[in-house]
Chain A
Amino acid sequence: GNSVTQMEGPVTLSEEAFLTINCTYTATGYPSLFWYVQYPGEGLQLLLKATKADDKGSNKGFEATYRKETTSFHLEKGSVQVSDSAVYFCALVYGGATNKLIFGTGTLLAVQP
């Protein structure tokens, strides 16, 4: 079936460090891929998305490229800030009209000053 696997956390980094959170997926067809972020006490917010192979999604300094050959959608940021501390979820949508989201387990990022 369709699923998303992302690296376990927590990931602890110092401010201005480089971030990579790995995400791989299993899906039939060609899903759309997403990264959602959940700040403490808040709901999930869309961070970025990509809808087809080789698309790059970007937002707030974060990037992720849809790699069909490796079925991956790794999240990267060149220089993290304390305010980036949150839980990051990789997700895919399949099913056409249903837009059903399948989430990974989430990765907690803690950025220390």
Chain B
Amino acid sequence: EAGVAQSPRYKIIEKRQSVAFWCNPISGHATLYWYQQILGQGPKLLIQFQNNGVVDDSQLPKDRFSAERLKGVDSTLKIQPAKLEDSAVYLCASNDRVDIQYFGAGTRLSVL
């Protein structure tokens, strides 16, 4: 069974530029999560989708971050414009109806 796929693995941008990350969850997983992991900290949930609907986006900085999951499968997370403090690893995870989440390898973003 293929795992959660994320791309790109690394991205370097300058502040005020925009960036997008892509995630393909495990086939059949209805729930998809985006986490932000700042160096030295644990992952923090940004947004959770159930199929193509948003379940929780309370921690998403909506003035600059957006996410979508149009067909209930792949998802894209966008930052526009990026700030220095957005430098982090962005993790995507998915699960079905059980409580175990499966994580992708993440996208490491450096904002200069």
Are A and B subunits of one complex?
yes
CB contacts (< 8 Å) of A99 on chain B: these are 31, 95, 99, 101
Whether B48 and A32, one on each chain, are in contact in the complex, defined by CB atoms closer than 8 angstroms, is no
A61 at the interface (CB under 8 A from B): no
Whether B43 and A44, one on each chain, are in contact in the complex, defined by CB atoms closer than 8 angstroms, is yes
A interface: dominant SS: strand
A93 CA to B103 CA, complexed, in Å = 15
Whether B56 and A91, one on each chain, are in contact in the complex, defined by CB atoms closer than 8 angstroms, is no
Q: How many residues from B make CB contacts under 8 Å with A?
A: 24
Chain A interface extent, by class: 20 to 34
**How far apart are A88's CB and chain B's nearest CB, in angstroms?**
11
Q: Which of B12-47 contact A (CB under 8 A)?
A: 31, 33, 40-45
B91 at the interface (CB under 8 A from A): yes
Q: CB-CB contacts of B47-82 with A at 8 A, as 1s and 0s? A: 010000001100000000000000000000000000
**How far apart are A98's CB and chain B's nearest CB, in angstroms?**
6
A89 CA to B41 CA, complexed, in Å = 10
Given A43-B4, A99-B95, A106–B103 Cβ distance below 8 Å? no
Which residues of B are interface residues toward A (Cβ below 8 A)?
3-4, 31, 33, 40-45, 48, 55-56, 91, 93, 95, 99-106
Which residues of A are interface residues toward B (Cβ below 8 A)?
4, 32, 36, 41-46, 49, 51, 89, 91, 93, 98-101, 103-106
